[in-house]
Amino acid sequence: MDFKKYSSQDNQSIVIDMTALLDIAFIIILFLGIVSTIAPLSSINVELPKASTEDKVVKPVKIIIDKDGNYYINGKKVDENQIAEFLKNSKQKTLIILADRKVIYDKVVRLMDIAKQNGIEEINIATRKFSP
């Protein structure tokens, strides 16, 4: 076999065109420059003044409703009258309802009504993130 006829006898040098690569590099640099000027400052040094009193963070009230429609506060089974009394005496203004997905809708609405009647200003219903 004669491989010499397939080999190139011209000693030509290969030239790679770098224009497209340089264009992309400049576009990336331009993009990063624009984004960095738009980005908000992540840290601002502020020295806060001191006070003699301190705000206490009040945790919201959590009431659980199981699938049978039973109410629980702090792991203790309670009825609607006990919930009303508990909410009246608490300083919290926020309620988080943790209801089972199979609970009767009327139970959740009734709890929301009791909460509003007893000074709760904000009601949240806990959910789980849906992942298909």
The CATH number given to 61-125 is: 3.30.420.270
CA atoms within 13 A on the CB side of 64: 9
Phi, psi at 20, each rounded to 5° = -65, -40
What residue ranges do the domains of the chain occupy?
61-125
CB burial of residue 64 (10 Å; 0-12, 13-18, 19+): middle
Summarize pLDDT for 9-58 with one digit per residue, the tens.
Answer: 555 677 788 899 999 999 999 998 888 777 665 555 666 677 777 666 66
Taking only the tens place, the pLDDT of each residue in 49-69 is 777 776 666 688 899 999 888
Structure tokens at 61: 């009230």
Contacts of 89 (CB under 8 A, 6+ apart): none
Backbone phi, psi, residue 95, to 5°: -125, 135
pLDDT tens-digit profile of 89-121? 888 889 999 998 888 889 999 999 999 998 888
